[in-house]
Amino acid sequence: MECQDRIAPIRVGRSSDGALVYVVEQPLEQLPAVRGRDIELAWDAAREAALSARPGAVRAFRFRRADGDFTDLAFADREACCWAAAVDATAGMTTSYGLSICLRLLALVDLLCRARWAVGLLRLERDAAALHPSVLRAAASTPLTADARFDEARFRARLPQFTLGGPAAQASLNGAIA
């Protein structure tokens, strides 16, 4: 089934105002898990695009729910559009796998911004940012919610205890920046 999810095509078109529109024939929360390495590559590409201030198109998504109804999602803010364009250029977003990479990356950024406990999982320096490797693995495998976020408790449960603080976590982050 996972192999089939990787190639499940997504219809992509343009709205009258130029936005990219994605029609996905499955619920958002059923998008497949991805490889941690793919999240890491997307993170690097998105950061590079943001640093160079490359713009991205507005994107709208329509996910078909199991009951036949739809969940709609849109990226209109500059940063999300930039990051989505970078992921689209590297991983592609015309399959459920590529779209899952993008949505997981943006969900990870959202989580890191709102979860106080996640502060130690990210190290920022001028023109550099590093995530603890276990964070990338958790982002790759934690299911998305129906509103394209990570449930904090489920995400945190996938992290090894040493990741959440202490010298071992800091040493791992220091190695990632160097």
Distance CA 1, CA 31 (A): 12
pLDDT of residue 7: 59
Distance CA 88, CA 102 (A): 8
- CB of 87 within 8 A of CB of 81? no
Going by their DSSP bridges, the two strands 128-131 and 70-75 should be labelled as unpaired
- CB of 89 within 8 A of CB of 44? no
CA-CA-CA-CA torsion sign (92, 72, 1, 142)? positive
DSSP secondary structure letters along 70-119: EEEEEE-SHHHHHHHHHHHHHT-SSBHHHHHHHHHHHHHHHHHHH-GGGG
pLDDT of residue 177: 38
pLDDT of residue 20: 95
Domain ranges for the chain = 2-177
Enter the pTM of the model. 0.83
Distance CA 173, CA 129 (A): 9
Strand partners, 13: 21
At 124, phi and psi to the nearest 5? -110, 135
| Tens-binned pLDDT, residue by residue, of the chain (178 aa) | 444 445 567 999 999 999 999 999 999 999 999 999 999 999 889 888 888 888 889 999 999 998 999 999 999 888 899 999 999 999 999 999 999 999 999 999 899 888 888 877 777 666 666 788 889 999 999 999 999 999 999 999 998 875 555 444 444 444 443 3
